[in-house]
Structure 1
Amino acid sequence: MASTQTSQKSVYMITVVASLGGLLFGYDTAVISGAVGALETYFISTLENNPTLAANSILQFKVMISLCILAVGLLFGSFILKFFKRSTAYIIIGAILFLGGAIYYFQFLTLPGVLTENLRNSILGFMISSALVGCIIGASMGDKAANSIGRRNGLILSAFLFLISACGSSYPEIMNIFPANDLTAFIIYRIIGGIGVGLASMLAPMYIAEMAPANIRGKLVSFNQFAIVTGMLIVYFVNYFIVSGQTLTWINETGWRYMFLSEGIPALIFLLFLFFVPKTPRFQTMKGNEKNAMDVLTKLNGPERASQILADIKASFSRTRSHWLSFGWGVVLIGIVLSIFQQFVGINVVLYYAPEIFRGMGMETDASMLQTIIVGAINMLFTVLAIMTVDKFGRKKLMMIGSAVMAISMIGLGFALYLETEGLPALLLMLLYIAAFAMSWGPVTWVLLSEIFPNKIRGVMAVAVAVQWLANLMVSWTFPMMNNNSALVEHFNHGFSYWIYGVMAILSGLFIWKYVPETKGRTLEDMENLWIRKKQD
């Protein structure tokens, strides 16, 4: 009994340390929400009064977007090469380059260096969501990092990148080592932080899933999501106390810097604690360090179970790494579509733009920040409920209920804005939406992604997570374009985008019901056998 208690204590302590990556993930996601208005004033509004600066910034914006598209394109091109035969992959990549390049050139690069409404909203949207480009890159690198330097060392790298980003984002003028203006420097440092977020978003749940016993794995992987929402809630409080009682001028000049700089504290703690946790048994076995793997397994599972688990791991790896389509398209598409729907339901619009949404409802700065704390508290409370129920009720049931409630609340919020009945009804609908997401698609998506991919093709998880960040970028970048568009505001009064997210929630529920298998209580090796049977059927 004492041995079991010691093992569980060790598992929980390791989970807490790894989940600090999730906390920083949440912190970085939410820190931008308190700074949106200040960043718009400090960087974007300045361009409106200076045509020369605007033209120069637009040119740098085009260069930055081109480089980001090139980087993301190369990463996704490498994925395509792993899915298809080389000749087929080159044809697909060539077709995408030709069509995408033509559209990109004529619809973007040829735009004049004049700050139009759409271009202004596009620059603002990209500045707010620029970290997501780094997230795509970091997630795409996740599999290579996991298999070369390891899950733990990959998290150490992510913590270091968080630390650099915190300093550079808060004072881009001082730390501008790039041949560009301060707006571009800010974006670059946000992208650097995003790489850290992307690495952590893949490696933290993978690390926990590989360390946790099967009977509590869902709970422990869900703890990563709890850490994410904890990070969000912490930064909502931090942002509130930074702006509370301060003048708008001070917030726009100085306050936003403290918001980003505060990220350095949890980043440093995470970096230091990671040196005290072990490498995962699966990584140790992969590298031939079976004794070390056995030591870790014995400590976490007890001597009775350790030998059998090590044998299962060795048997799994004895089947050499396979082509990513070895188990068919089914498991690959399920992972990718899960990631897309988690973002297309609009969660990060609420998380990134919550204070601006509340200010749009007529609230003052302090009040809007306080409402954001309520959003964070609801997010955390219902994430805890999800952690407590995910291993009891299963994954599918929680996901389908969450989709239904999110659809109702988002469509209702759209009508509340359209009919100009903002205030308490809109706030309650938003809180209902947050509660539904926190009980379902927030934590359970990560549980499913950590469970459905067999060890032989676990690298596909990097594709799923990268696609998730790409979907996040699309939603976050396009929201200001829709929400601030004069024509859409005139016809729908800010309700249009929320109706789109509501429809996505309906489609997400149908997808879960029809295509996603229940993974509750199954080991990672059980899931591999499931996909083998499905391919044979």
Structure 2
Amino acid sequence: MQQKQNSFYIIAITFVATLGGLLFGYDTAVISGAEKSIEAYLITELGLGSLVHGATISSALIGCIIGGIVSGFFSSKFGRKHSLIIASILFLLSALGSAYPEFLFFTKGEPTIALLITFNFYRIIGGIGVGLASAVVPVYIGEIAPANIRGRLVSFNQFAIIFGMLVVYFVNWGIANGQTLEWINDIGWRLMFASEAIPALLFCLFLFFVPETPRYLALNEQDNKALAILTKINGPKIAKNILEEIKQTVTVSSGKLLSFGKTVIVIGILLSVFQQFVGINVALYYAPRIFESMGAAKDASMLQTIVMGLVNVVFTVIAILTVDKLGRKPLLITGSIGMAIGMFGVAGMAFANIIGIGTLIFIIIFTASFMMSWGPICWVLISEIFPYKIRGQAVAIAVAAQWAANYFISSTYPMMMEFSGGLTYGFYGAMSVLSALFVWKFVPETKGKSLEEMEHIWKKTSSEQHQII
């Protein structure tokens, strides 16, 4: 009976935390339904060009980079729980502000540059919330979860991100279905952005009922609270041992970023960069355009995108079920090989100028391979590999690098495609091969290890490097 109560408690905490992941996906994808309305507003009403259109659509990514950078300060200064509460408030402000940007000026929404700047401001605010949540949610779950199921629980965050994207696609469709273009351009796009306020408010309210992580509490000399939470999760006997391990690492660790050497920081950054350089967000953001450019009609391209979305969910579930059984490294290497096959296949089809079902099959192989490996497991490793005293700073650097790589890959895709479609997809395939070699050579296996055991590994590595020097 005690075990069931513990399991329910852990699952409940994880569910609340992964609402941050759902909002991550929701906020980044909500723009897709309003994109045409924004284009009409910018070009028809304000007479601006495609450059401003592209900057407006991607403005949230700027906030994501900022959110990633500041996440270390927030999570260390205010705690993991309160950082997530701040993120939820940012999501709420972004939802309402993006829907009604004219409220700040008390105008009726006449087209003005000031109104456009205000809209972008609120989108950046939402992006900061995304960047903050993307860094803190995996850390929060990783510090709460028992070692034997930690990978599975952190992987739920990736599932929540993908699920959030699917939810908002259906919400956008439900708002626009059967309505005139004029109504969508006047009211519909506002409702799409405002709809995010509902999960944002629920996320904020639920967070008041979950605990701070025991590791953060122990670091701040709140041992009784930390022990109470550990006891509720792991039982009294194990809880005392875990707290003792935590206290030892807290006592002996220094808080300097490079106190465990450069290797762990470089590995964290490269995990984040490879996750984006394999081209996944090109496949997700530009899927309809990819299929249209390869000969699919507009309706068919949207249907193929939905098929990709379902594949994403199914293979993310596979990762959740296997990450604590098979380990992180085997899944990452297998996924990299699958991604390479998928991207080289698409590149070959592009070079041969062949348009057909084969392209869709190769893209599905690529996305399925990513979702069962690099999608969720990169976040798992980022939450696990960094020693506690530098975790906030190190995760912030890794997440900021990830969003910067995301922005770079997404923004260069159209230009690369104009040069050569085959070379573009071949580049992503080459990155997939390099990611496999990187994991095989440099990334440690973390399956079943406590966060404190990982800290001892990096201490040993750092000590050996100093002896060599």
TM over 0.5: yes
CA pair 384-255 structure 1, distance change in 2 beyond 3 A: same
Unpaired runs of 5+ residues, structure 1, are: 55-114
CA pair 373-451 structure 1, distance change in 2 beyond 3 A: same
Distance 1:232 1:163 in 2: 17
Matches within 5 A, 1:189-200: 189-200=122-133
Distance 1:507 1:473 in 2: 20
Distance 2:226 2:429 in 1: 46
User: Hey, what does 1:516 align to over in structure 2?
Assistant: 443
Matched position secondary structure for 2:380: helix
Given residue 166 of structure 1, which amino acid in structure 2 is its aligned partner? A
Distance 1:250 1:420 in 2: 41
Matched position secondary structure for 1:276: coil
User: Hey, what does 2:55 align to over in structure 1?
Assistant: 126
Say if 1:30 and 1:351, in contact at 8 Å, map to a contact too: no
Distance 1:340 1:450 in 2: 16
CA pair 216-209 structure 1, distance change in 2 beyond 3 A: same
Given residue 534 of structure 1, which amino acid in structure 2 is its aligned partner? T
Residue from 230, 237, 242 that aligns with 2:163: 230
The number of aligned residues is 459
- Residue 505 (structure 1) aligned with residue 432 (structure 2): yes
Matched position secondary structure for 2:208: helix
CA pair 290-392 structure 1, distance change in 2 beyond 3 A: same
User: Hey, what does 1:469 align to over in structure 2?
Assistant: 403
Say if 1:29 and 1:352, in contact at 8 Å, map to a contact too: no
Report the CA distance between 1:166 and its aligned residue: 1.3
Report the CA distance between 1:420 and its aligned residue: 4.3
Distance 2:422 2:114 in 1: 36
Given residue 136 of structure 1, which amino acid in structure 2 is its aligned partner? I
Matches within 5 A, 1:168-183: 168-175=97-104, 180-183=113-116
- Residue 31 (structure 1) aligned with residue 37 (structure 2): no
Distance 2:429 2:187 in 1: 37
Question: Aligned Cα RMSD in Å?
Answer: 2.3
User: Hey, what does 1:284 align to over in structure 2?
Assistant: 217
User: Hey, what does 2:467 align to over in structure 1?
Assistant: none
Residue from 446, 458, 466 that aligns with 1:531: 458
Given residue 290 of structure 1, which amino acid in structure 2 is its aligned partner? D
CA deviations 1:181-219 (Å, max 9, x no partner) are 333222221110010011111111111111111111111
User: Hey, what does 2:147 align to over in structure 1?
Assistant: 214
Report the CA distance between 1:496 and its aligned residue: 4.4
Report the CA distance between 1:388 and its aligned residue: 0.6
Matches within 5 A, 1:12-31: 12-31=11-30
Matches within 5 A, 1:77-156: 120=50, 122-156=51-85
CA deviations 1:355-379 (Å, max 9, x no partner) are 3334444555554444332222111
Say if 1:327 and 1:535, in contact at 8 Å, map to a contact too: yes
Matched position secondary structure for 2:211: coil
Matches within 5 A, 1:333-482: 333-363=266-296, 366-458=299-391, 459-482=393-416
For structure 1, which segment, 228-237 or 196-205, has the greater mean C-alpha deviation from structure 2 after superposition?
Answer: 228-237
Distance 1:186 1:368 in 2: 30
Report the CA distance between 1:142 and its aligned residue: 1.2
User: Hey, what does 1:163 align to over in structure 2?
Assistant: 92
Distance 1:409 1:333 in 2: 27
CA pair 498-124 structure 1, distance change in 2 beyond 3 A: farther
Distance 1:498 1:348 in 2: 13
CA pair 507-125 structure 1, distance change in 2 beyond 3 A: farther
CA pair 149-3 structure 1, distance change in 2 beyond 3 A: same
Report the CA distance between 1:534 and its aligned residue: 1.7
Matched position secondary structure for 1:453: coil
Report the CA distance between 1:524 and its aligned residue: 0.8
CA deviations 1:236-283 (Å, max 9, x no partner) are 222333344455555455443333222222111111111111111112
CA pair 429-177 structure 1, distance change in 2 beyond 3 A: farther
Report the CA distance between 1:286 and its aligned residue: 2.0
Percent identity reads 54
Distance 1:188 1:408 in 2: 41
Report the CA distance between 1:168 and its aligned residue: 2.1
CA pair 46-354 structure 1, distance change in 2 beyond 3 A: farther
Matched position secondary structure for 2:191: helix
For structure 1, which segment, 13-22 or 245-254, has the greater mean C-alpha deviation from structure 2 after superposition?
Answer: 245-254
- Residue 256 (structure 1) aligned with residue 189 (structure 2): yes
Say if 1:410 and 1:430, in contact at 8 Å, map to a contact too: yes
For structure 1, which segment, 153-162 or 414-423, has the greater mean C-alpha deviation from structure 2 after superposition?
Answer: 414-423
CA pair 479-260 structure 1, distance change in 2 beyond 3 A: farther
CA pair 500-37 structure 1, distance change in 2 beyond 3 A: farther
Runs of 4+ in 1 over 6 A off after TM superposition: none
Q: TM-score, normalised by structure 2?
A: 0.91
Distance 2:280 2:16 in 1: 26
Given residue 63 of structure 2, which amino acid in structure 1 is its aligned partner? G
Distance 2:435 2:44 in 1: 38
Report the CA distance between 1:31 and its aligned residue: 2.1
Report the CA distance between 1:40 and its aligned residue: 3.0
CA pair 16-467 structure 1, distance change in 2 beyond 3 A: same
Given residue 221 of structure 1, which amino acid in structure 2 is its aligned partner? V
CA deviations 1:479-514 (Å, max 9, x no partner) are 23444x4xx3xxx3x444323222221211111111
CA deviations 1:284-318 (Å, max 9, x no partner) are 12222211111111111111111111111111111
Unpaired runs of 5+ residues, structure 2, are: 465-469
Say if 1:233 and 1:380, in contact at 8 Å, map to a contact too: no
Residue from 216, 219, 231 that aligns with 1:298: 231
Distance 2:416 2:192 in 1: 27
CA pair 176-476 structure 1, distance change in 2 beyond 3 A: farther
User: Hey, what does 1:62 align to over in structure 2?
Assistant: none
Report the CA distance between 1:124 and its aligned residue: 3.6
